Structure 1
C-alpha cells in the first residue's frame, strides 16, 4: 500500500485516501475523497417543483439496495425509462457555473440566518428544503473495464443521484451510509457530471438535523473481481492470553462476464500509534479457494491465530488490520483492509458489563450528531476534540442518539478507547413528527438496518446495537412484533453483540417487550431498577438515557431551590445542577440508584454536549413551557397562550449538555468527573464570586470533589469541614453570606489533603485573552484550532458576568470558520467575524486554507486591551 495524490493518476483534483498497488505496479483498488469542487444551489429548477417528490418516484428508489433485502421476492425492479431526464439540473450540459462552489461535507442550514419564527425545537435555522449538488470530473480512458462505486456516508435527505444525465439510484434515510454502482454510467476519457438532489422535509426532526451532503463522499475503483462493498466481517470467537482465533469472512463480487475461480489470502498486522500497519505480520490465514459465478457474490471464511494477542480495551485500545488479497488466474486482482480489535464482551444480569472478563461500569453520554457552531458537516478534529473533553471528564462510552453515526466517530472511538451503543431509529411505524422516519419504515427499515450493521460490525468499540429510542410501539403487541424482527436481523448480521432498545415506558419492562432484546434499556427510570430485577432476574439492564438535568453555563439564580421545576429565568437555567424537566432527575438521583443497584451496567447521560434544537424547557410548546417556569414567566406564558395560542421563545439550542455548544464545561462536568474519575485529585466550587448586588445576602455554595471531605474558607475564615454521607455526591454550604474576596475549598481523602481550589471576586474587565487548544495544525483545509476567548481583569481572572462584543481579525493561511458563545438564546450567526461573550467566554474556530505558514488571530473589544495568538499550519 502506498499513498499518492490522485493528480498523478487521474486528471481530477481529488485527495487520495487509499491506493492499493499490486506486485507488478497495477492499481488494484483505490478509494479517493470525492469532496472537492462541488457546486450547490437551493431549490428545483423552474417548472420542476414537485416532479421528483418521493411519492412520485418511490418505485425508482426502492430498486436501490436490494442486496440488503434477505427475501428475494421482496426485492424491487426499476421501472423502464430514465427518471428525471426532463429536469434541467440532471443534464450533463446544464451550465452550473453560477452555482455556489462548496466543499463537502456541507451543511446548508448552519449558514443561517437564525430566525425567531423558525421552530426552536429544530434550531431556528433553515435546514429544510430541496438542494442540488453537481460535480464535474474525469477518469482516464485507461479506466475502461474498471468498476466504480460512489460511497456517500450521509446526505440529508431523500438523496437521488444522476451521472451524465442517467438516474443511478437513491436513498431516503438522511443518516444512512450507502453506495451506488456508477460503472454503467461513467464515461472514461471524457468529462463526467454527477448530480445529486436532496429533499429535506420540514417537520421531519425533533432536533436540528442539518441539510446537505453533510458527511464524506468517496469514489472507489476496483477490478471486475473484487471484495464487495462492506464485504468483510471479522470475529474473534476464541480469546485467551496466549492466543486469539480470528475469523475473516470475505464476500467477493464477480462483475466479469465469466465465472471466476479465486483464492483469498489474509494476513494480519498490528496497527501502530499512527494508525498505519506495522511491517511485521502477526498471523497468516490458510488460503481459501472459491468459485464465483458471473454477476454473483461468493463468500468464504479465512481463519488465523494471533499469539499473545494485545487486547482492545478502554485503557489500551489496541487495533489490528486484516489485509485480504483476492487472487484470480494466478494474479492479485484486489486488496482490502479491515481494521478490528481483539476483545470479549458480555452483559450479565448480576454483574453488568464485562470487557475481557473484567467488570466495567459504563460511564456514558448520549450525543446528537451536530458539532455546535460547525453544524452537522463532519469534521474529524471537531469530533476528536469532543471525545477528548469527554475523556477528561471520565466518560468511557457514547450512545449515537438516535441514528447511525458518522463512520469517523466509530474510528475515533476504536482508537481512543470508547464503548459505543450504536443506535438506528428514533421511531418505527408510529411517528413523532409529521414527516419523520415513520413514512419510510415499512419500505426501508430492513435495508437501513442491515446496511448499518454491515458497515459498523468490525468496530471493537461497539458493544450494543440499539433498535430504537423511546419507540411509541414499545407498549403494544405491534411493538413486540417489530422488535422481534429487528433483533433477528441484528443477530443474522452480527451474532457477536447484544441488542437493546431505549425504553421510556415503564410498562415495557414487564409487558414482554423486555424479553425480546438481549439487554433491556430504561430511560429515566432509576426508581424501577429494583422492581425490574425482581420481575426479570435474568435480563441484563442498562440505563440507556439518564438525568436530563438542564443548566446554562455561568448562570445562577436566587433563591436556590431544590424543587427541580424552579431555577428558570429569562430563558436561562440556573447552573446549580438541581433542575430538570418533569420526567428527568438530577445527576445525584441517578448516582444513588446506580449505587443501590450495582447490577445496572451503567448509564448514558442526556447529554454530553449541548446541541442545536430541542431547547427544553423553552421549547416553544405551550404545555411544556407552563410546566417548568417560575411565576413571572408563567404569567407571560399564560398571557401569550391566550392571545396567540402559542409562545415565541428565543432559545435555539439545548440546555441538557454537560458541556456547552462551544465545548466549555458547565459546572456539572465536575460533578461527573468527581464520580467517574475517583483517583483524580479535584475539587470544584460553584457559583462564581462576583455578586456586588448581594453583599450581606445569602449565596449558597456547592462543592464537587473526588475526595470525601471538604473544608470551605471565605476570606480565610473557615465555614466548616463537611464529609460526604451515603448517597451524597456534592457538599453544600447553603447559608453563606456573600462578601467580596475569595472562596477556598480544601478537599481531603481518607483524612489526607487531596485537592484545593479558589474562586475570587475579580476586578473590572480589562483585556481580552486568547488560548488555542493547539498551536500547530495541519495545512490540509480540514484541521481546526479551537481558540477560547476570555474577558479578564488585569490579573488574568475571567470576569464571569461580562458580555462584551468581540471582533476577530485573521492574517496568514487560515480562515475563521465559526464563532460561538454557548448562549442558547443568542441569534448571532456562527459564520461571522464577531461574537458577544457569554458570561466571560466565547469561541473562535480557525481552519487552515491549505498552505503552510503562520496564522495570526487578533481579538478586539471596545474599551479592553486586545489580544493576539499565533497558530502554525504545517505541511
Structure 2
C-alpha cells in the first residue's frame, strides 16, 4: 500500500483519433483468443499462441518463454486487410465503451450485476496510421492501456500480438510490420464472452483506455525502464536509488550513450495524509556527439512504511489510520471508458468523505487513475486478479491463468495448499519487479492457520473480521456462519498486520425509507423487517441493513473499536447516500456536521412513529419537533449515531442541535415540503476546457415554492443544452431505472437527477 515509488512515462507519443468501429453480438470472423465454455462448441481458430509471446518481456527465466509459431495463422479475416472498405462502420472516439450507450437487456442475456447492458460479442476497431521514411530509423510501439477483452492487434494484415486480460496495459513492437512512407492499417479486435455471467460487475466493452503510438530512436529508455526506490528517509533527507534500463534495437552496432537524470520537486505535501510530496525524475539519453536520443519522466514519492501487527500502519514515522473504500473501474453512467474529469470527481468526493486509501477492486486501474491518487495523497492497494485457477463466473479471467503459470501448479488440488503455493510464486514475481512493495491477497473462506497466511506480508480479510451471518438479526439465516475473526487471525499470526479488505456489505437506496426500523445495528434486508420493498427495488436508507453475509458501518466500527465498502456510499449518479454522512462522522471527527434521517414528508403516517436518527461526530445532541424537545442524549460508548426511536410524526420541522465537549458543534434540520414547483440546476464547475473531453456534472433538484428540495419527487425531467456542448448521459442513481444512459429525459429519484455535459 503506497503511492508509486516507480512509474513510467512513454517517450514522445501520439494519441490516436478517428476510429472506425464494428460490433457483432456473435463471432463474425471465425477466430478467438482461446476456446472457453461459452464458445467451445463453435468452429473457431485459436490465436493465443501468437499472443502469448508478448508476455516474455516479463518472464525472467528464458526457458519459460513462449515461442511464436513460425508462420502467420492460417485464417482469412477480411477486417485486417489493407484494402478492406470500412466506410459503413461507425465512427467512434477512443476511449470507447460500446455497451454503455445501448439498451438494457434481459437477465437471460446479461446478468444484473454486470449491468444488464449489451457487453457480449466482438468489437473491431480500424485506424489508418502514417509513418514517414525518417521514422524508419526509429522503433515504433503501440501502447494499449486497456481493451476489454482478449484483445488482439493486426498491422497491415500481420497479427502483432495482444493481451487477454482486459484490465492490463500492454506494449507491442510494431516496427517489423510498419510500411514507412505509406499508409498503414491498424486493426484491433476485442471480445467479451457469450456467457451471461463472465464477470461479477460491469466490465465494459471495447478499447476503453488510452491507446498510444510511441516513436523513439532505436536506442532508448526501455519499457518500464526507470526504477526508483528510497531509503534512509528522515524529515530532512533521503537517499534516492535510481536504475535505468536502456534498449538498443540495433542488432549490428553498439551505441555508447551518456545518461543524465535530474530530480525536481513539483508538489508539496505528505504522502498518505493531506497532500503528498511529489517528485519527478527526468532522464535524458545522449549519444557521444551530445545529440538527445530520448527523454523519460518518472514521478515518485519519498516515504517509509512500517506495518506493525499491534499498532497498525506508520508512514514516515506517523501513525495513519486506514480509512478505505473499494472502487471498481467504471464511471457510472459514462461506463468503463476513462475520463479524467469524471475520475477526478470521484476522488474529490472520496476526499470529502474522509477516505485516505483505495483498494482497486479487483483489477489494475488505468495508469491515469494511479497518477491522480498519487497527486491527491491516497494510499492504494493495486489488485491484479479477482481469481486464480478457480473461476467465480463462467468464462472469467481464471481461464487465462494457466496460460502463463508454471506447469506444475496445474496439478495441485484447488484449495488452501494450491492457493498457498500460487500466492508464494506471485509474491516472488512482485518482488522481482519491486522489492519495496508489500503483497497481500484477500481471504474470504480461509481459516487463521492456513498456510497462505504465512506467505502474506499483510493479511487481508473479506467480511470474516466482522463475522458473517453473525448476530441476533441473522440467526434465522442458513449458510456459512462465522464469528468475528480478527482475534483468531491475530493469535495465529502475531507478527502480521491484519486489515479488513472488504468489511461492510451495506445496502440502501438514496432517500428511500421503510418501516418498521430494525432495532439492531446490523440486520439482513428483507420485505418483512422494514429493510425494503422487493417489488419497487428499494432498500431503506436508515443504513442498518446489509446483505446476508455482510455488515453495516455501525457493526464494522463496533468490531474495530472492541478489537486492537465497501461500495454504495455514493450512488451511481454520484449523489451521497445517507451512509456517506455516517462514515464522514467517523472518519472526519474534527468536521462539525450533522445529518438527520429520514426526510419529513409522511402525510400517510400522521400520528404514527417515525424513528429519527442523526449521524454526527458530536458527543451530545438534542432533537426538536416543531420546537418541542424530544430529549437530549449523550452518545453511548460504541455507538455511532443518535437514535430517537419513538418520535410521533406531525408535519413541520425536525431540528437537531449537536454538542461536542460541552460546546455547540453543529445543527441540521429537515422540513415538510410543499408540492414540486420548480427545478434548480447547479454545476460542479461553471467553466470547462473546450477539448471535446472535459465534463461538467449538472445536478437538477426538484424544489417547492420555498426552494426546499422535495424528497419524494420523481418527476420526469427533460434536459437540453443551448450553448456549445453535448449531453452525454443522464442518471438518477436508481438501479431499477432502465432508461438508456444517453437519454435526455430522466425521472428524478427522491428529488434529484443528473446530466453530464461534455465540451
TM-score normalised over the length of structure 1: 0.79
What SS class does the counterpart of residue 257 from structure 2 fall into?
A: strand
The correspondence for 2:400, drawn from 440, 447, 451, is 440
Q: Tell me if structure 1 keeps the 8 A contact 2:146–2:210.
A: yes
1:530 corresponds to 2:505: no
Q: Which residue of 1 aligns with 2:82?
A: 92
**1:785 matched residue in structure 2:** 696
Within 2, Cα distance between the matches of 1:19 and 1:180?
Answer: 16
Contact 1:311–1:318 (8 Å) recurs in 2: yes
Q: What are the Cα deviations for residues 349-377 of structure 1, in whole angstroms up to 9, with x where unaligned?
A: 01111111111000000011111100000
The whole-number CA distance in structure 2 between the counterparts of 1:270 and 1:548 is 41
**Contact persistence 2:267–2:276 (CA under 8 A):** no
CA deviation digits over 1:283-328, x for unaligned, max 9?
xxxxxxxxxxxxxxxxxxxxxxxxxxx7534213121111111222
Contact persistence 1:576–1:686 (CA under 8 A)? yes
Q: Partners of 2:31 and 2:589 in 1: how far apart? A: 58
Using a 3 Å threshold, how does the CA distance of structure 1 residues 110 and 250 change in structure 2: closer, same or farther?
A: same
Answer whether contact 1:709 1:721 (CA < 8 A) is retained.
Answer: yes
For 2:220, the equivalent position in structure 1 comes to 226
* 1:312 to 2:271 alignment: yes
Structure 1: how far apart are the matches of 2:543 and 2:33?
49
| Aligned partners of 1:153 and 1:217 also within 8 Å | yes
Pair 1:254-2:248 in alignment? yes
- CA separation in 1, counterparts of 2:102 and 2:734? 16
Which residue of 22, 34, 40 maps to 1:41?
22
2:283 counterpart residue number: 324
Q: Distance in 2 between the 1:318 and 1:140 partners?
A: 42
Q: 330, 336, 352: which is aligned to 2:296?
A: 336
Unaligned runs of 5+ in 1: 1-17, 21-28, 274-309, 447-471, 599-604, 608-656, 849-875
Distance in 1 between residues matched to 2:756 and 2:365, nearest whole Å: 23
Distance 1:84 1:214, change over 3 A: farther
Deviation at 1:506, TM superposition (A): 4.4
SS at match of 1:426: coil
Which has the higher mean CA deviation after the structures are superposed, 111-120 or 146-155?
A: 111-120
1:56-205 equivalence runs, <5 A: 56-83=46-73, 86-117=76-107, 118-201=110-193, 202=195, 203-205=197-199
What is the CA-CA distance between 1:770 and the residue it aligns to? 0.6
Aligned residues: 706
Among 433, 455, 458, the residue aligned to 1:519: 458
User: 2:402 aligns to what SS in structure 1?
Assistant: helix
Deviations 1:249-295 (A, max 9, x none): 1110010131222222111111158xxxxxxxxxxxxxxxxxxxxxx
| Alignment partner of 1:552 is 2:509 | yes
- Give the SS at the match of 2:491: helix
CA distance in 2, matches of 1:186, 1:511: 52
Written as runs of structure 1 = structure 2, the 5 A alignment for 1:544-693 is: 544-561=501-518, 562=520, 563-566=523-526, 567-569=531-533, 570-598=536-564, 605-607=565-567, 657-693=568-604
Residue 188 of structure 1 deviates from its aligned partner by 2.3
Query: Is 1:265 the counterpart of 2:260 in the alignment?
Result: yes
Pair 1:51–1:357, CA change in 2 (3 A): closer
Query: How far is 1:445 from its partner?
Result: 5.7
With over 3 angstroms needed to count, the CA separation of the structure-2 counterparts of 1:231 and 1:445, relative to structure 1, is: farther
- Equivalent position of 2:632 in the other structure: 721
Cα drift, residue 44 of structure 1 = 9.1
- Give yes or no for the alignment of 1:704 onto 2:615: yes
1:540 maps to which of 490, 494, 497: 497
Q: Structure 1 pair 46/712, CA: closer, same or farther in 2 (3 Å)?
A: closer
| 1:333 positional shift | 1.3
Give me the whole-angstrom Cα distance separating, in 2, the residues matched to 1:381 and 1:590: 32
Q: Deviations over 1:124-154 (max 9, x none)?
A: 1011111100011212222221111110000
1:30 is matched with which residue? 12
Q: Deviations over 1:195-215 (max 9, x none)?
A: 001111133211110100011
Asked if the contact 1:45/1:87 (under 8 Å) is kept, the reply is: no
Shift of 1:248: 1.1
CA distance in structure 2 between the aligned counterparts of 1:684 and 1:474, rounded to whole angstroms: 48
Distance across 1 between alignment mates of 2:675 and 2:249: 72
TM-score by length of 2: 0.90
> Any idea what SS the aligned residue of 1:791 has?
strand
Match of 1:463 in 2: none
Note the 1:446-525 alignment, pairs <5 A: 475-507=415-447, 509-524=448-463, 525=465
User: Unaligned 5+ residue runs, structure 2?
Assistant: 1-7, 36-44, 407-411, 467-483
Aligned to 2:38: none
Contact 1:314 1:416 (C-alpha < 8 Å) held by counterparts? no
1:444 deviation in Å? 3.5
- Distance in 1 separating the partners of 2:21 and 2:679: 38
Residue number in structure 2 paired with 1:429: 389
Offset, 1:49: 3.0
Aligned partner (choices 761, 779, 788) of residue 672 of structure 2: 761
8 Å Cα contact 1:326/1:334 also seen in 2: yes
Q: CA deviation at 1:521?
A: 0.4
Residue of structure 2 in register with 1:390 after alignment: 350
- Cα deviation for residue 492 of structure 1 reads 1.7
| Separation of aligned partners in 2, 1:171 and 1:671 | 42
Residue 371 of structure 2 aligns to a residue in which SS? helix
Instruction: Say which SS state the counterpart of residue 64 (structure 1) adopts.
Output: helix
Q: What is the rounded CA distance, in whole Å, between the counterparts of 1:229 and 1:495 in structure 2?
A: 19
Aligned residue for 2:372, secondary structure, equals helix
User: Is the contact made by 1:19 and 1:31 (CA closer than 8 Å) also made in structure 2?
Assistant: no
How many angstroms does 1:473 deviate by? 8.6
What SS does the aligned partner of 2:238 have? Answer: strand
Q: 1:730 aligned to 2:641?
A: yes
Over the aligned positions, Cα root-mean-square deviation in angstroms equals 1.9
Q: 1:661 to 1:397 in 2, by over 3 A?
A: same
- 1:115–1:827 contact (8 Å) kept in structure 2: no
Judged with a 3 Å threshold, the aligned counterparts in structure 2 of structure 1 residues 828 and 45 are, in CA distance, closer, same or farther, namely closer
Distance (whole Å) between structure 1 residues aligned to residue 731 and residue 106 of structure 2: 18
Tell me if the contact between 1:84 and 1:167 (Cα under 8 Å) persists in the aligned partners: no
Q: Within 1, Cα distance between the matches of 2:124 and 2:623?
A: 61
Task: Name the SS for the 2:554 alignment partner.
Answer: helix
Aligned partner of 2:233 in structure 1 is: 239
Query: 1:787-802 to 2 correspondence within 5 Å?
Result: 787-802=698-713
Q: Residue 353 of structure 1 corresponds to which residue in structure 2?
A: 313
Of stretches 113-122 and 700-709 in structure 1, the one that deviates more from structure 2 is: 113-122
CA contact 2:25–2:121 (8 Å) conserved in 1: no
Paired residue for 1:618?
none
Deviations 1:637-660, CA, capped at 9 Å, x for gaps? xxxxxxxxxxxxxxxxxxxx0000
Q: CA deviation at 1:330?
A: 3.4
Structure 2 equivalent of residue 458 of structure 1:
none
Partners of 2:584 and 2:157 in 1: how far apart?
A: 55
Contact 2:155 2:177 in 1 (8 A): yes
- SS of the equivalent of 2:580 reads helix
Structure 2 partner of 1:372: 332
Which aligned segments of 4 or more residues in structure 1 are displaced greater than 6 angstroms?
A: 44-47
